[in-house]
A and B are shown apart, each in its own frame.
Chain A
Amino acid sequence: DSGVTQTPKHLITATGQRVTLRCSPRSGDLSVYWYQQSLDQGLQFLIQYYNGEERAKGNILERFSAQQFPDLHSELNLSSLELGDSALYFCASSTHPGLAGGGEQFFGPGTRLTVL
């Protein structure tokens, strides 16, 4: 158990809908990263938040957004869903914000999104 929790575990929805995925980082971790895992694209970085502020952005679609709340949990919002958005969505947390030397990222169990 990494200490990172994600809910829900599974999510089935229809095209055009909007969903919210939730992540609680390990106790004491200030950074939350979101990744998407699909068969064709592999594991891809979406976005990072550090202590409530956006720190880095990857190839995240404009239909997707995220935020980190004062209690440090994070939510990933996916809207106008398409079939191709079906994937596993992971969040990871780390202590260090990316200073020289880096910080280990610990992954949650993921949310499996199925868009029908």
Chain B
Amino acid sequence: GENVEQHPSTLSVQEGDSAVIKCTYSDSASNYFPWYKQELGKGPQLIIDIRSNVGEKKDQRIAVTLNKTAKHFSLHITETQPEDSAVYFCAASNGQGGSEKLVFGKGTKLTVNP
């Protein structure tokens, strides 16, 4: 089955700097790659996603890139702010069997220092 590896497990940046989180996946049939932000005591919140027919997607300060050949995708956050501090999860899905069940990475704890 699918396996998603996520790096780094922790990331500390200064406010205003950029943050990059990387994920690799094993199943070449995976075609949907969302990113979630989880704050303490809350459920994961979808922040951006990308599908396999697109190489890059941007939404204000966040962007995601996908390299299907290398089977990796990355989250880029620019001009980080203290409220960006949270745990970020990448995930992958192949839609097989009519299900979009997600396989998640282990998460990256991002700390943005004021």
29 A-B pairs with CB atoms under 8 Å apart are A4-B43, A31-B100, A33-B102, A35-B102, A42-B105, A43-B91, A44-B104, A45-B103, A48-B101, A55-B98, A58-B101, A90-B43, A90-B44, A94-B100, A96-B100, A98-B98, A99-B95, A100-B95, A101-B32, A101-B95, A102-B93, A102-B95, A104-B49, A105-B34, A105-B46, A105-B100, A107-B44, A107-B46, A109-B42
Pick the 5 closest A-B CB pairs, nearest first: A56-B99, A107-B43, A102-B32, A98-B98, A43-B104
As a 0/1 sequence over residues 30 to 45 of chain A, the CB contacts with chain B under 8 angstroms (1 = contact) are 0101010000001111
- List CB contacts (< 8 Å) of A48-105 with chain B: 48, 50, 55-56, 58, 90, 94, 96-105
Rounded to whole Å, the gap between the CB of A107 and the closest CB of chain B is 4
Interface size classification for chain B: 20 to 34
Of A35, A43, A55, the residue contacting B99 (CB under 8 A) is A55
Instruction: Give bound CA distance, A48 to B100, whole Å.
Output: 9
As a 0/1 sequence over residues 39 to 57 of chain B, the CB contacts with chain A under 8 angstroms (1 = contact) are 0001111100101000000
The chain A residues found within 8 Å of chain B, CB to CB, are: 2, 4, 31, 33, 35, 42-45, 48, 50, 55-56, 58, 90, 94, 96-110
Rounded to whole Å, the gap between the CB of B92 and the closest CB of chain A is 11
Instruction: Give bound CA distance, A50 to B36, whole Å.
Output: 22
Instruction: Give bound CA distance, A98 to B32, whole Å.
Output: 11
Shortest Cβ distance from B91 into A: residue: A43
Instruction: Give bound CA distance, A2 to B43, whole Å.
Output: 9
Shortest Cβ distance from A104 into B: residue: B46
If the complex has contacts A33-B101, A102-B100, A105-B102, are A43 and B43 also in contact, measured as CB distance less than 8 A? Answer: no
If the complex has contacts A99-B95, A100-B95, A107-B45, are A43 and B89 also in contact, measured as CB distance less than 8 A? Answer: yes
Rounded to whole Å, the gap between the CB of A72 and the closest CB of chain B is 17
